[in-house]
Amino acid sequence: MSVLFETSLGDLVIDLETEACPELCLNFLKLCKVYYYNLNAFFNVSKDFIAQTGDPTATGEGGESIFSYLSSPSDDSVPRYFKPPIVQSLKHTSRGTVSMAFAGGPKGGCGSQFFLTLNEGPIDYLDGKHPVFGSVVEGLDVLEKMNETFVDGTGRPMKDIRIRHVVVLDDPFDDPPGLLVPPGSPTMIPDTNFNLRIADNEDPLETLPAEQAEEERRLAAASASALTLEMIGDLPFANVRPPENVLFVCKLNPVTRDEDLELIFSRFGTIMSCEVIRDKKTGDSLQYAFVEFDKREEAEQAYFKMQNVLVDDRRIWVDFSQSVSKMGGSWSSAALKVTSASNGRGGGGGGGGGGGGNRVGHPKAHEEEMIVLTGQETTDGPKGDGEKMNREGIRDETTEAAQEEEEGEEGEGVGRGVLLDTEEIPVEVAAGIGTETIEIETETGTDMLVTMADEIDERLHA
């Protein structure tokens, strides 16, 4: 009767002494049948001595017999071990002898742990202490590999040697009551300290070809760079990928316009956007563009058909865009809005001028705060509706006029004047210097207003 062990070092075929040791062979075969030994490690290997396995915990203190395995955990009547008779005629005479590990003590006996002898000659020390029940008939070269493996101070191999699968070739015994064969082999390693070892399928001395090693190095460097860009906010996330429906078109003629390019590429499908990139100051074409299609298939068709096509006496080059600027821009804008809302300063810092984030709105909208900074006081009006009054109790009409102007034409000009150091800036001066929006990174809205007032004051004195 035989059992096939598929190990990480090779296959072993074990013949069992079913007639001389029926109880031992029954226990061993049924444990094999329920995949008890699958993924077990050889946790104790001694050169020219033994290789021990059969303990799911890989500590030498675990394991149980098939009778204990099938019994209820609350049933104390079934012992963990059993004590089979030791056949004196079966001894450890050569390499490949298979024996059950016998635990000492009053409750000791045989459970699931077994070992294979590695010495080419007899090992008399084991005779009479551990019962022999089989021998290895195929795979003696695997035993030689085990004998030469490197081990740590406890005898466990530095590189795991595991039983990957067990096949029962012949079983003459009936199954004990309650035995159910699992539908498949287990996939989880039973012991918990396997991560401290070299995996059984890992080769620490393996060297990759130069090209493959360079490719892996570049992938690792690209991954690290992407993570850095994510940390500083340039990418929404490290694994971002460029859109597959956007084409990059370069080598354009400077005279080529957005409408011309859109008309040419529209025959392949719906164009969502077509933009020729231009210099921000001069407005001159930078001779490249991005064309966004509605579907990826349309972009692929345009990629194959438009390569090296003559457009305005220039042969263009078409490729898929690798830019994620739009994705990153929308993500960063959304993040900025969330941050502004959480700080309670959305819309330009608390005034009435609109705008978001770091944008400085209409100076008249923040007149109240500027007056307070320059020593003037404001109080709530008698109506109690939020109207602001100066120190004489007179209604401040300049603020009301600024609010009306903002509702009519938001963002154009500074307004009719801003009170600063009890002086009113003329309308024509304020209108002349307030047509551009000034973006200033500050911590509070008040700082933004003071900076704007200083800007006005400097231009007046100039």
Distances (CA, A) of 401 to 129, 365, 367: 106, 10, 11
pLDDT digits (tens, 9 = 90+) for 186-245: 888 888 776 677 887 777 667 778 888 899 889 889 888 888 888 887 777 777 778 889
At 372 the three-state DSSP class reads helix
Strand order in the sheet with 110-117: 44-45, 50-53, 110-117, 97-102, 132-138, 10-16, 2-7, 163-168
Region of 231 (left: φ > 0; alpha: ψ -120 to 50; beta: rest) is alpha
Question: What does the alpha-carbon distance between residue 457 and residue 222 come to, in Å, rounded to a whole number?
Answer: 50
pLDDT beyond 90 at 452: no
**Domains of the chain, CATH where assigned:** 2-168 (2.40.100.10), 246-320 (3.30.70.330)
* Poorest-pLDDT segment among 155-169, 275-289, 414-428, 438-452: 414-428
If one compares 327 and 300, the residue with the highest pLDDT of the two is 300
Structure tokens at 406: 């903002």
More confident: 107 or 110: 110
Query: pLDDT value at position 72?
Result: 79
pLDDT of residue 328: 52
Mean pLDDT of the chain: 77
Task: State which of 164-178, 181-195, 335-349 shows the largest mean pLDDT.
Answer: 164-178
Q: What are phi and psi of 205, to 5 degrees?
A: -100, 5
Tell me what the mean pLDDT of segment 54-64 comes to. 91
Task: List phi, psi (to 5°) of 202.
Answer: -110, 140
Indicate the residue type of 135: S
Q: What is the pTM of this model?
A: 0.48
The side-by-side arrangement of strands in the sheet containing 285-293 is: 271-278, 285-293, 246-250, 317-320
Higher pLDDT, 233 or 334: 233
- The identity of residue 118, as a single letter, is L
Residue 23 has pLDDT above 70, yes or no: yes
Secondary structure class of 253 (helix, strand, coil): coil
> pLDDT tens, 345-361?
444 444 444 444 433 33
Taking the CA of residue 441 as centre, how many other CA atoms within 13 Å lie in the half-sphere pointing to its CB? 1
**Residue that wins the pLDDT comparison between 238 and 121:** 121
